[in-house]
Structure 1
């Protein structure tokens, strides 16, 4: 049953770099029901308001609204689904802030696609197996 739930998941990629968005889209599109891509935190907020995805991958370094601000705004909207923060090497202070906002996982760029796929799978599995409010 868990595998079917995971296949039906929707993923939102938030990264200002088109190349990164395309790479992630190609790596994930065959595994999940829907993979959406946006270039900014503001666009992510619009998507989440309309149809909340099951998981959000958000880059830290983006113009206008960085990853932490995007996460804060999503959490302020009561978006409780998992968020994975993508950071550059050495941004431990940022990761600590993200953890305080309920982000359980992060991945450091450059990352291995297989490692990212596994992290997404693990994160979605945790969500399915953890009762709401835990």
Structure 2
């Protein structure tokens, strides 16, 4: 197993495609359909990486990140967003996001970024 990945995405098609693709790559993947479920999963399980959409029901990506900072959870996070607002991206960086992918994103670039981030986190 290459690592544990939590995929937080409210669009079922994208969420399921990403989960299936990363499972085929050898990752253990779990999914969350909204921000509240993301927070619950992160409290219950340990993951090597969070791949999260910015705009989700419940808590949005920034609210999830703020919660993680408040609780001391330093999980590396890759943020996917259709929005390119500079203020939002800057705030997400301050909250610890390690990479951003605008939608639509290049799946090969995303796979490469996940591989680098998990390898770096796991190997220290």
Q: TM-score, normalised by structure 1?
A: 0.84
Secondary structure of residue in 2 paired with 1:64: coil
CA–CA separation in structure 1 for the residues paired with 2:21 and 2:37 = 22
CA–CA separation in structure 2 for the residues paired with 1:126 and 1:8 = 12
Q: Which runs of 4+ in 1 moved over 6 A?
A: none
CA–CA separation in structure 2 for the residues paired with 1:89 and 1:114 = 21
Alignment match, 1:13: 7
Secondary structure of residue in 2 paired with 1:98: helix
Aligned residues between the structures = 124
Q: Which runs of 5+ in 2 are unaligned?
A: none
CA–CA separation in structure 2 for the residues paired with 1:82 and 1:29 = 19
Q: Which runs of 5+ in 1 are unaligned?
A: 1-6
The match for 1:41 among 35, 41, 57 is 35
Secondary structure of residue in 1 paired with 2:58: coil
Q: TM-score, normalised by structure 2?
A: 0.91
CA–CA separation in structure 1 for the residues paired with 2:109 and 2:27 = 20
Matches within 5 A, 1:1-134: 7-130=1-124
CA shift in 2, pair 1:89/1:69, >3 Å: closer
Deviation of 1:63 after TM superposition, in Å, equals: 2.0
User: For 1:88-132, what per-residue CA distance to the aligned partner results, in whole angstroms no more than 9, with x for missing partners?
Assistant: 1523321111100111211111011111100101112332354xx
